[in-house]
Amino acid sequence: MEAIVNGQIIQLSEAGWLENLDEWSPELAHEIAKNERINELTEEHWNIINMAREHFQENGVVCEPRAFSKMMKKKYGKDRSDQKYIYSLFPTGLIKCANKVAGLPRPKGCS
């Protein structure tokens, strides 16, 4: 699988995960989001994408969903922190969808 961004071919895995994490860009995020049936990335989407990327850059691993919800609650409040909220923006949730759009590695055990 591949995505074309600004005339450049970016390799994705068969499941749509970014092969080379250094190739991620906001433009690529939009292409991956389309593959995940997300037509538009809103500010709320970007808040999650950016928080997921920051956690990965600081810790070297993708964030576990419960811990991520706690971080969201601390920064954005109760209404924007539970799994229902995240699923409303990313149809298959944090692990399978938001992390993929954020250009993070596929977590172990994730299909």
pLDDT of residue 81: 86
Whether the pLDDT of residue 35 is over 80: the answer is yes
> Could you state, in order of their start, the residue ranges of all structural domains in the chain?
2-101
Closest-CA residue to 62 (of 105, 15, 111, 109):
105
Share of the chain above pLDDT 70, in %: 97
Residue type, 96: K
* 110 in catalytic set: yes
Whether the pLDDT of residue 20 is over 70: the answer is yes
What predicted TM-score, i.e. pTM, was given to this entire model?
0.90
pLDDT, one tens digit per residue, over 80-103 is 888 888 899 999 887 889 999 999
**Count of helices and strands (H, E) across the chain:** 6, 2
pLDDT of residue 90: 93
> φ, ψ for residue 11 (rounded to 5)?
-80, 130
Whether the pLDDT of residue 111 is over 80: the answer is no
Q: Kindly state the DSSP code that residue 65 receives in the 8-state scheme.
A: H
The CATH fold of domain 2-101? Arc Repressor Mutant, subunit A (1.10.10)
List 33, 93, 110, 111, catalytic entry: 110
